Amino acid sequence: MNRPFPLTTILLFAATTFAAGDDSRYAPAWSNIAPQRVIKLSGPDGDSLVKAVAALQPGDQLVIAAGTYRIERMWDIRAIGTAEAPIWIVAEEGAQVVLTRSDDRQNVVNIGQGGAVEYLCLRGVEITGGSHGLRLGQCREVWIDRCHLHHTGQVCLSANSADTSRLFLTRNHLHHGGGHGEGMYLGANEGEFIMSESVIALNHIHDCRGSQGDGIEVKQGSWGNLIAENDVHDTQYPCITVYGTAGKPVNVIERNLCRRSDNHTMQVQGEAIVRNNVLISAKGAGFASTDHQGKSLNLQVIHNTIINTGDAFKGGSWNGREGMLLANNVLYSRDRNAVNFPNGREGVILTGNIIVGDGPKEGTSPGRGLEDFTKVTWDAAEHDATPAAGAPLNRADAQHLLKTDLAGRPRLDALSGALAR
């Protein structure tokens, strides 16, 4: 797909540029380039796979036959393609290709640990066992697509050992990571390593039950990333955690469905646009924002539907901070606060929100309860948050109205929350 704009522009305006349902909108610009040579690998033999990958040249596609490939060494893929001739490593159509190892002393697959990797696609393989399932190092223009990563010794997929840019992590299924238990760990603490201008979209991530267990975690300093249309549920830590960008272009977090967290459903420090998400059921807050490795500032939370037994929204460090906006959300709490600023809210723009539960009257209007949605339960067993007939949600502030809803459809009127009628 040839993008009409630079990636940073796409990230900032993805909600209005593309129609939902077209997976190609999250693919790299070189996604439709045909391979120049197709190599078929019969198997299963782990050593033969490692040798075949090491021999790949720009324009090659390696098609891997069904089977379980055990790689009992430290395997680091260093293939380098070009924009005109990417390298493709793909499972044979309809085949189950499993990559694994017998212990957790090494990661199952590394890409770019010992040198730069560019213009590479890994698609359709299953990765299980080992330490990290897949670890991305010095990677730029690397596409991980339709892979299944599960039951690993540590995080399922990480990009925390080198700076990365223009990663495309799409349509993957991740679950049951061990150790800290994250589904995706992207960037490193205190900005030691940064992920930039990348796309994390259409992934299904669940059962992250390690000692921490975020579904998707984007660390401090990582910037210009799009986190979109992921289905994340049943996590120990937040389903999605995003830190700040240290003054670089903001991250965009949109159209995600997050539910059932033992912590907060979503936690975002700042320097982000958070829009059109559905967040349901947490032991903490539905959405939480506070200082952590950086200050909360320049954070827009717009047109989200947040439903929780505890606090729906909690802004612990929003008081007196620059660029803080809470607009046109549906914020329902069964037992506590719909909106909670425990340390004050001076300077916050608060407008167009529909609430159930305690909270400020300014910038809010009352909703009725779960009857306002097609089929939602407090525990997120049901999570169709489409507005029901008669729901009093048509009170959004037109000044902050988004043009599209969670499904990418045009908003027909000034509805608050993630979905239009």
From-to residues of CATH 2.160.20 in the chain: 1-254
Q: Could you count the other beta carbons within 10 Å of the beta carbon of residue 130?
A: 26
| pLDDT (average), residues 321-347 | 97
Cα(104)–Cα(231) distance, integer angstroms:
28
Over residues 365-409, the pLDDT tens digits come to: 999 999 999 999 999 999 999 999 999 999 999 999 999 999 888
| pLDDT (average), residues 198-206 | 98
Contacts of 66 (CB under 8 A, 6+ apart): 43, 44, 91, 92, 95, 96, 97
| pLDDT (average), residues 132-160 | 98
Confidence label for 13 from pLDDT (cuts 50, 70 and 90): very low
Confidence label for 136 from pLDDT (cuts 50, 70 and 90): very high
Least confident range of 39-43, 57-61, 142-146? 39-43
Query: How far is the first Cα of the chain from the last one, in angstroms, to the nearest whole number?
Result: 31
Task: Show the tokens assigned to 303.
Answer: 């047109």
Confidence label for 421 from pLDDT (cuts 50, 70 and 90): low
Does the predicted TM-score (pTM) go above 0.75?
yes
| pLDDT (average), residues 56-63 | 98
Helix (H) or strand (E) holding 242: strand 240-242
Please tell us whether the domain made up of 1-254 is placed in CATH 2.160.20: yes
- Looking up tokens 């916050």 gives 348
Q: Could you count the other beta carbons within 10 Å of the beta carbon of residue 171?
A: 19
- Predicted confidence (pLDDT) at residue 14 exceeds the cutoff of 70: no
For residues 339 and 312, the answer to whether their CB atoms sit within 8 Å is yes
Over residues 248-283, the pLDDT tens digits come to: 999 999 999 999 999 999 999 999 999 999 999 999
Paired sense of beta strands 373-376 and 383-387, if any:
antiparallel
Rounded to the nearest integer, the mean pLDDT of the chain is: 93
